[in-house]
Structure 1
Amino acid sequence: MPAPPARRARRRLVLAGGCALLLACCGTGGGPALDGAVTASGAAPAPATAPAPATAMGTFGGSVTTEKLPVYWVGAADGGQRLFREFRDAPRGTGIADPIGAAAALMTAGAPQDPDYRTLWAPVDRVGSATSPDGTITVDMPAHAFRADLTDEDARLAVQQLVHTVTAAATLAGLLPERSEPEVVVLVDGEPGREVFGSMRLDDPVRPAEELEAPIWVVDPQQGALTAGTVTISGRVLEGVRGCRWTVTETGGDDAEISSGELDTEGTGREFRAEVVLEPGEYVVTVIGRDAEGRQVLDDKDVVVSAP
């Protein structure tokens, strides 16, 4: 089996500056008892051909099964930072009863598959969580998860990294009411209103800020994926991104573009999907578009294609 290709130079991602950054939050009350604390491995889980399901009891009745945990990471390029999502296999053998807490713990202690991504949190192995009928998610983070070396901008982005991760995990697991607008309350060692990251006070609930998400992200293929023959290219773009196309470039030689095509991103959810058949080799798959100001935005992944 060939090894994944060496990572190319950091992607070029041109983004609008000056986006509003939402402050982090916590309710002023004592908060619910968080008895759903879970443990996640301190290392990224190994890829599994048949991931073990993680099961939780939904707030609104019945059980839910989650084989994948959505985790958001921070990607930086050309002075801009945005949030990118990866779906990770639920850790095996950890007895997960709370996919929200498991995803949050993995966000701090796991390693992103794409080396262009990183986390803004110190590693922890336990995070508690609870959900309420109105769509509020409460997470209880250990105090040592909050790094002291972040700038104010990074601290606000770190809170959004957490808020996006737990909201996505709750949605995927079916733990939120339909058509709710979820918001997140952050406790620190069980206490509300704590000051974290040196200067930020967690006073109010916060909702995910869509403008901090990457304008384009590629979900498939995942970074370093090994596939045979046909490569599926899928992902999503933010509203306002236009003229999207995909390209496939062969690496290890003259980096020649060998295939490309247009993408239809006008459908529900601004999602895209395409398939391309490739000969065995090492490639970079790139999705490129332009934002509302006409600037180029992109995301890319390395992939190894083996013989079918």
Structure 2
Amino acid sequence: MTQTSAPLETSQTSAKAPVYWLGRARDGVYLYREFRDTDSKDNPIATALRIMMSQKPLDPQYFTPWQSPKKLAASVSGRNYITVDVSSDAFNTGVDEPTAQLAVQQLVYTATAAAASAGLVDAGQPISVMLLVDGRTSQLAFNRVQLGQLMQRDPAMVAPVWIIDPQEGTEVANGALKVFGRATEPGRAFAWQILRHDGQGARSVYLSGTVTAGNQAGHLGEFTVTVNLPPGDYEVRILPPEDASAAPTSGTSAWDSKGITVKG
């Protein structure tokens, strides 16, 4: 199977910032993306990075090891060279080596996503990021990761599959729900489940099935699932195909999941 990294975000005019987070999945921790509302008129790269470092993700399964910095700046040189300068208080020195590596890539993914989304770079060419700490190169991020070199997206860090839409906490006005997601391996099959909450804290599988990530040019890895749901609270989950019938109480961990509400 062909492996692909998360595609670079396309230029958009809506006031939403693409932000990547660390998320716990069934076999480890990966990078996942959310689009966050912002009315900031500031540099879109710095805006997305400040959200990444200072706010909480919408999805409770996501997290960030960064801390809110006193100083943060970002600029684009030429067409595809991003420089990010952050103060040293942004780093949580209590993280382990794997988390530190992921966190640095979290910054690379978010900076390149924000730049591409704002049309500041040529999305058809590789984008490089230089991370400075208090204006200096060759520093240690999180006291663990050596900086000073140009960095690009590492496809091994991104989640093998995630739900792009709906996002966590979405309210659907009617019962028609379209789930849109993407996998890094085109042609790979996944299971999906819609869990329904009974109001007493219990969950049960309301609908389930399988879907295959697409392999069409321009839509590699994409998939959609459309269902009709009565009013209520639900959880959408993406799992390996062998877990299609797994009960939510079995301890099976999903690749990704989103809580939504269907309004009456």
TM-score using structure 2 length: 0.82
Q: Is the 8 A contact 2:79 2:120 kept in 1?
A: no
Task: Give the equivalent residue in structure 1 for 2:250.
Answer: none
Q: 1:75 aligns with which of 6, 11, 23?
A: 23
Q: Is 1:130 aligned to 2:75, yes or no?
A: yes
Matching residue within 31, 52, 55 for 1:107: 52
**Alpha-carbon distance in 1 for matches of 2:131, 2:26:** 31
Matching residue of 1:304: 261
Aligned residues of 2:187 and 2:221 also touching (Cα < 8 A): no
- Post-superposition offset of 1:65: 3.9
Identify which of structures 1 and 2 has the higher relative contact order when contacts are C-alpha pairs closer than 8 Å and 6+ apart.
Answer: 1
Q: What is the Cα deviation at residue 191 of structure 1? A: 1.7
Report what 2:33 is aligned to: 85
| Secondary structure at 1:206 match in 2 | coil
Please give the root-mean-square deviation of Cα atoms over the aligned residues, in Å: 2.4
Please say if 1:287 is aligned against 2:235.
Answer: no
Shift of 1:197: 1.4
* Cα deviation code 1:41-84 (max 9, x no counterpart): xxxxxxxxxxxxxxxxxxxxxx9844111111111245611001
Report the secondary structure of 2:143's partner residue. Answer: coil
Deviation at 1:297, TM superposition (A): 5.9
Alignment of 1:213-224 (within 5 A): 213-224=158-169
Q: CA deviation at 1:280?
A: 0.6
Contact kept? 1:83, 1:212, Cα under 8 Å: yes
Partner-residue secondary structure (3-state), 2:67: coil
Task: Report the counterpart of residue 151 of structure 2 in structure 1.
Answer: 206
Q: Secondary structure at the match of 2:227?
A: strand
Q: Distance in 2 between matches of 1:258 and 1:148?
A: 43
Distance 2:30 2:225 in 1: 24
Q: 1:176 to 1:242 in 2, by over 3 A?
A: same
Q: Secondary structure at the match of 1:97?
A: coil
1:275 maps to: 226
2:192 to 227, 241, 246: 246
Go from structure 1 to structure 2 and tell me whether the alpha carbon gap of 1:251 and 1:297 turns closer, same or farther (over 3 Å shift).
closer
What's 2:213 paired with?
265
| Cα contact 2:172–2:263 (8 A) shared by 1 | yes
Contact 1:216/1:297, CA 8 A, preserved across alignment = no
Partners of 2:154 and 2:241 in 1: CA distance = 20
Identity of aligned residues (%): 35
What amino acid does structure 2 have at the position aligned with 1:216? V
| 1:82-121, Cα deviation, whole Å (9 max, x unpaired) | 001011111x3x4x23111100010000110011110010
Residue 133 of structure 1, CA deviation: 2.5
Q: What TM-score do the two structures reach when normalised by structure 1? A: 0.71
Letter in structure 2 aligned against 1:150: V
Q: State the match for 1:196 in structure 2.
A: 141
Could you list the per-position Cα deviations for residues 8-55 of structure 1 after superposition, in whole angstroms to 9, with x for gaps in the alignment?
xxxxxxxxxxxxxxxxxxxxxxxxxxxxxxxxxxxxxxxxxxxxxxxx
Cα distance in 1 for partners of 2:25, 2:193 equals 20
Shift of 1:264: 3.9
Shift of 1:256: 2.8
Correspondence for 1:156: 101
| Structure 1 pair 77–270 and aligned structure 2 pair: CA distance change class (3 A) | closer
**1:227 has 2:172 as partner:** yes
The alpha-carbon deviation at position 181 of structure 1 amounts to 0.4
